[in-house]
Amino acid sequence: MFKKSLSLKKVVEQIIEYLIKWCGIISIILVIFIFIFLFQEGVSIFKNNSPLSFILGKQWYPLSKPPIFGILPLILGSLMVTIGAAIIALPIGVASAIFIAEVAKGRIKEVFKVGIEFLAAIPSVVIGFVGIIVVAPIIQKTFNLPTGLTAFTGSLLLSLMAMPTIVSIAEDAITSVPNRYREAALALGATHWQTIWRVVLKSALPGITAACMLGLGRVIGETMAVMMVTGNAAKIPHGLFEPVRTLTATIAAEMGETIQGSDHYFALFAIGLVLFVIAFIINFLADFFLHRERI
């Protein structure tokens, strides 16, 4: 009787392992399928337009006769908004993470942690709405611009969205630095800040870098908020305070009206492909940093 229950347990073990293995495999298969679908639809645009003229073309007029498909302004728009968000969110995010992990104690630590999570819970549409109504006019008046709908406004809002990701993951990375590092530094006479700056941060750097890349990955894929506040002008921006148009907003705004099978339809899928590749590279880099050996 003892033997019977042992082999039954073995079988149950195997089934469970099999099931969870397949759950993992299905996730990977889904990603591959999405990529294949994007690739199939997107690559059809390159029958009549060379990939170079698509990626480097400076004008996006998909509905002219003949249509012009050049996504350089869109790529630059997305990059500009993302880099702007990075410049704002990275320092503030990492600093917040250091505060929560190293300086805050007890009650204050909990309050801050919960507060940052709240930020993550706000839907992006709501942030975009607040952006149009409140933030854009303020920016227009403060910087004396022709309009408040600019890349800068977009960057501001996106940094709000990236911060929870950056803070959570960076805080995890800092907390997992072994205590003996800190104790050794303090024993050698370092102050608290010297310990943080020279020992803890250096040790947590791979994790912090991963946090930043994941935050940016979220930012580059953000659609609704940027569509509402960046003005959607498809031209090459000459500064952060000009209206821009992102890859994501283009797909969202124009996909509804395209006729399936038209060149415009394929062009939008090609944009999706470009976005997929960019996001994939960012996430791959994040993963690479996360798994590097800690110094």
Partner 1 sequence: MKKSFTIIWFLGLFLFSCSNCGKNHQISTLIQIKGSDTMVNLVQAWAENFMKKNPSLSVAITGGGSGTGIAALLNNTCHVTMSSRKIEGEELELAKSKKINPKEFIVGLDGIAVIVHPSNPLDKLTFKQISDVFTGKIINWKDLGGKEGKIMVISREVNSGTYHYFKEHVLGKENEYTENALLLISSQAVADEIAQNPNAIGYYGMGYLSPNQKPLAIAKDANSSFVTPTFENVKNSTYHISRPLFFYTNGKPQGVVKKFIDFILSDEGQRIVKEINFVPIR
Binding site for partner 1 (CB under 8 A): 59, 61-64, 73, 132-133, 136-137, 140, 146-149, 227-228, 231-235, 243, 245, 253-254, 256-260
Q: Which is nearer to partner 1, 147 or 283 (CB)?
A: 147
Q: Which is nearer to partner 1, 148 or 206 (CB)?
A: 148
Whether 124 and 224 have beta carbons less than 8 Å apart is answered as yes
Q: Give min distance, CB of 185 to partner 1, in A.
A: 47
Q: Give min distance, CB of 146 to partner 1, in A.
A: 5
Give the single-character DSSP code of 61: E
CA 140/CA 144 separation, integer angstroms: 6
Q: Give min distance, CB of 275 to partner 1, in A.
A: 19
Tokens of 20: 């969870």
Question: How many C-beta atoms surround the C-beta of residue 220 within 10 A?
Answer: 21
Q: Give min distance, CB of 168 to partner 1, in A.
A: 28
CA 141/CA 150 separation, integer angstroms: 13
Q: Which is nearer to partner 1, 73 or 206 (CB)?
A: 73
Beta strands in 79-137 (DSSP E): none
Q: Which is nearer to partner 1, 169 or 269 (CB)?
A: 269
- Of 244, 237, 75, 100, nearest in space to 163 by CA: 100
Q: Give min distance, CB of 182 to partner 1, in A.
A: 41
Q: Which residues contact 67 (CB under 8 A, 6 or more apart)?
A: 61, 263, 264, 267
Q: Which is nearer to partner 1, 53 or 232 (CB)?
A: 232
Tokens of 293: 């050996």
